[in-house]
């Protein structure tokens, strides 16, 4: 028995093995295939986002490799994929145009430092403040953004839409890719559907020498290893003021998108647990390193994360394989990867769109409050039209205001006269800034008897506005020549009242434990009907 007990500390080792996906050959195979699929889908995305930011495609590919590898190793949730994203690229472009790519690298370094600080100070925990309707709007908005991002692949190099045979070929192979992804799991799960679809469609296109757009038409992905490079900008306060606003915005966008993706992956994989702060620090370290190796920075990618999860990726190995495969493409297999038809990758992303969009949210119409429906639609629209960070922050603010408004209407009181002729107000509901007006309307100092009791047994004082309201109410009763007593204030409310004594003059506080109250002049009086001996 003793030997068995001493052998139990080996469990953390098994946990580490499972976290990285090394617990069985089957798991290693699944994670590796899933990572390879993700890497193939990363190439056109990284190149496209580099074009958006108006930097060399290798700047986007290096970012995808470095950010993907660091977060795969140290991130808060195994199975998440990170890399260069469009949400960051649209912010970077104005900096690159105005000041050049070296300022971008410096900004990415500072962005990483800010994100590391956010991780150390546990700011990531505030992601729990994002309401579910905002999450639904975020998911739906990103699904639409991913869909719209694929539309650019249906245009020629001159910006005109494809038509005729090229268009039908593109649509046909997109549909074929989607069909293979749908059918493949029913035939075999040995190979992920997206990877099988990409390979099959590529072999058909190359075998029949079909003239349809391929990855190489976007740009060459051939390159060498990223090299250490200190951003060449003047080390002055002027430079700091240039990059600081961009760094703060990029850090905020990156963390919001990463933490929301973390929550989404957690729900799908059912791998819950603390990981927000760890993810913040990992994203920061990844961007800090990326800035010194000529990358454009990045964050979690919901599209590629969904590809990974749907392909069976649950461990860190899939992200590691994805990053290393991407580097291998750059170094050794650029010519082969450039032959992959864009239609195959578009089909994969369309399946991601279908899997990402919260279709059940459409069924909620008429079943949940209208303000929640409004938040879902609002966040979806802002995500598509403007920016994810703006959408989420605005959604949280709207949700908070709606909650405060609805909660403010839930304070009420029942009234009764006790045997001593005192009028008792039994409060229910929270007392805070939103309910102060309703609280004050509950009382009638002029018509009430000389002794009034307010019972807070079913109510809570939540903020300074509530304390001020209590003080104002006591003054009204004192001006009317009547006595006000407060009963059953919770312990935290009493602490708030005592802390506020130098700010707010609190009238009568009855201590439910000792049965003692203090009147408006500061004199203690016995309030309980039958106090214990020695308590008076």
Q: How high is the pLDDT of residue 492? A: 66
Q: Give the pLDDT band (50/70/90) at residue 493.
A: low
Mean pLDDT to the nearest integer, 345-361:
85
* Selection from 130, 133, 114 nearest residue 393 by Cα: 130
Report whether 351 contacts 194 (CB < 8 A): yes
Cα dihedral 222, 228, 231, 237 in deg (nearest 10) = 150
Q: How high is the pLDDT of residue 1? A: 41
Q: How high is the pLDDT of residue 321? A: 96
Coil/strand/helix, residue 297: coil
User: Domains in the chain and their CATH numbers?
Assistant: 19-153+213-342+349-399 (no CATH), 412-526 (3.30.750.24)
pLDDT at residue 304 is higher than 80 = yes
Q: How high is the pLDDT of residue 369? A: 86
Q: Give the pLDDT band (50/70/90) at residue 496.
A: low
Q: How high is the pLDDT of residue 400? A: 87
Q: How high is the pLDDT of residue 495? A: 65
pLDDT at residue 297 is higher than 50 = yes
Contacts of 178 (CB under 8 A, 6+ apart): 197, 347, 350, 351
What percent of the chain stands above pLDDT 70?
Answer: 88
| pLDDT tens digits, one per residue of 428-463 | 989 988 899 999 999 999 999 998 988 888 888 888
Mean pLDDT to the nearest integer, 166-180:
94
* Euclidean distance between CA atoms 447 and 435, whole angstroms: 23
* Euclidean distance between CA atoms 488 and 452, whole angstroms: 14
- Average pLDDT of the residues of the chain: 84
* Selection from 376, 373, 379, 377 nearest residue 393 by Cα: 379
Q: How high is the pLDDT of residue 428? A: 92
* Euclidean distance between CA atoms 354 and 359, whole angstroms: 9
Q: How high is the pLDDT of residue 109? A: 97
Q: How high is the pLDDT of residue 498? A: 63
| pLDDT tens digits, one per residue of 76-133 | 889 999 999 877 887 898 899 999 999 999 999 999 999 999 999 998 887 777 888 8
Q: How high is the pLDDT of residue 512? A: 45
CA atoms within 13 A on the CB side of 289: 17
pLDDT at residue 533 is higher than 60 = no
* β-bridge pairing 524-526 and 483-487: unpaired
- Residue 281: CB atoms within 10 A of its CB come to 22
Q: How high is the pLDDT of residue 111? A: 97
Q: How high is the pLDDT of residue 497? A: 63
In this prediction the pTM is 0.74
Q: Give the pLDDT band (50/70/90) at residue 494.
A: low
What percent of the chain stands above pLDDT 90?
Answer: 39
Q: How high is the pLDDT of residue 9? A: 43
* Selection from 533, 29, 14, 36 nearest residue 325 by Cα: 36
Q: How high is the pLDDT of residue 323? A: 96
Q: How high is the pLDDT of residue 180? A: 94
Q: Give the pLDDT band (50/70/90) at residue 515.
A: very low
pLDDT at residue 413 is higher than 70 = yes
Coil/strand/helix, residue 518: strand
Contacts of 192 (CB under 8 A, 6+ apart): 30, 33, 34, 37, 184, 310, 311, 312
């Amino acid at each position: 028995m003793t030997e068995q007990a001493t052998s139990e500390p080996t469990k953390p080792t098994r946990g580490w093995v499972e976290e990285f996906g090394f617990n069985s050959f089957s798991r290693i195979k699944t994670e590796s295939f899933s990572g390879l699929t993700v890497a193939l889908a990363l190439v056109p995305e990284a190149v496209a986002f580099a074009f958006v930011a108006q930097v060399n495609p290798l700047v986007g590919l290096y970012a995808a490799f470095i950010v993907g590898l660091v977060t795969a190793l140290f991130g808060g949730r195994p199975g998440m994929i990170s890399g260069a994203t469009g949400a960051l690229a649209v912010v970077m472009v104005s900096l690159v145009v105005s000041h050049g790519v070296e300022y971008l690298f410096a900004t990415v370094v500072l962005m990483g430092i800010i994100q590391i600080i956010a991780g150390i100070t546990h700011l990531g925990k505030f992601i729990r403040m994002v309401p579910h309707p905002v999450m639904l709007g975020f998911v739906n908005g990103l699904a639409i953004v991913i869909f719209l991002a694929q539309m650019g692949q249906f245009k020629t190099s001159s910006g005109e839409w494809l038509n005729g045979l090229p268009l039908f070929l593109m649509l046909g192979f997109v549909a074929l890719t989607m069909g293979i992804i749908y059918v493949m799991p029913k035939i075999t799960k040995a190979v992920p559907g997206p990877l099988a679809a990409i390979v099959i469609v590529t072999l058909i296109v190359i075998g029949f020498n079909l003239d349809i757009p391929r990855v190489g038409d976007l740009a060459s992905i051939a390159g060498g290893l990223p090299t250490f490079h200190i951003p060449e900008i003047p080390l002055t306060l002027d430079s700091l003021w240039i990059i600081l606003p961009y760094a703060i915005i990029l850090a905020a966008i990156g963390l919001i998108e990463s933490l929301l993706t973390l929550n989404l992956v957690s729900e799908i994989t059912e791998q819950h647990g603390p990981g927000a702060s760890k993810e913040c620090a990992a994203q920061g370290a990844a961007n800090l390193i990326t800035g010194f190796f000529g990358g454009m920075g990045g964050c979690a990618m919901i599209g590629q994360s969904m590809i990974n999860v749907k392909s069976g990726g649950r461990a860190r190995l899939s992200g590691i394989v994805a990053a290393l495969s991407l580097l291998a493409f750059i170094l050794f297999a650029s010519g082969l990867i450039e032959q992959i038809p864009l239609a195959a990758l578009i089909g994969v992303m369309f399946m991601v769109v279908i899997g990402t969009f919260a279709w059940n949210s459409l069924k909620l119409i008429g079943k949940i409050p209208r303000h929640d429906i409004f938040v879902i639609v609002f966040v979806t629209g802002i995500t598509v039209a403007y920016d994810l960070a703006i959408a989420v922050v605005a959604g949280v603010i709207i949700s908070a205001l709606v909650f405060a408004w609805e909660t403010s209407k839930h304070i009420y009181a029942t009234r009764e006269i006790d045997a001593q002729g005192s009028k008792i107000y039994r409060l229910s509901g929270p007392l805070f800034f939103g309910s102060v007006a309703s609280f004050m309307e509950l009382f009638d100092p002029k018509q009430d008897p000389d002794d009034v009791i307010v019972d807070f047994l079913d109510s809570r004082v939540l903020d300074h506005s509530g304390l001020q309201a209590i003080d104002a109410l006591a003054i009204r009763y004192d001006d009317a020549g009547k006595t006000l007593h407060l009963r059953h204030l919770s312990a935290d409310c009493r602490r708030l009242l005592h802390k506020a004594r130098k700010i707010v003059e609190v009238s009568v506080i009855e201590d439910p434990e000792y049965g003692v109250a203090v009147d408006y002049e500061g004199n203690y009086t016995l309030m309980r009907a039958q106090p214990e001996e020695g308590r008076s």
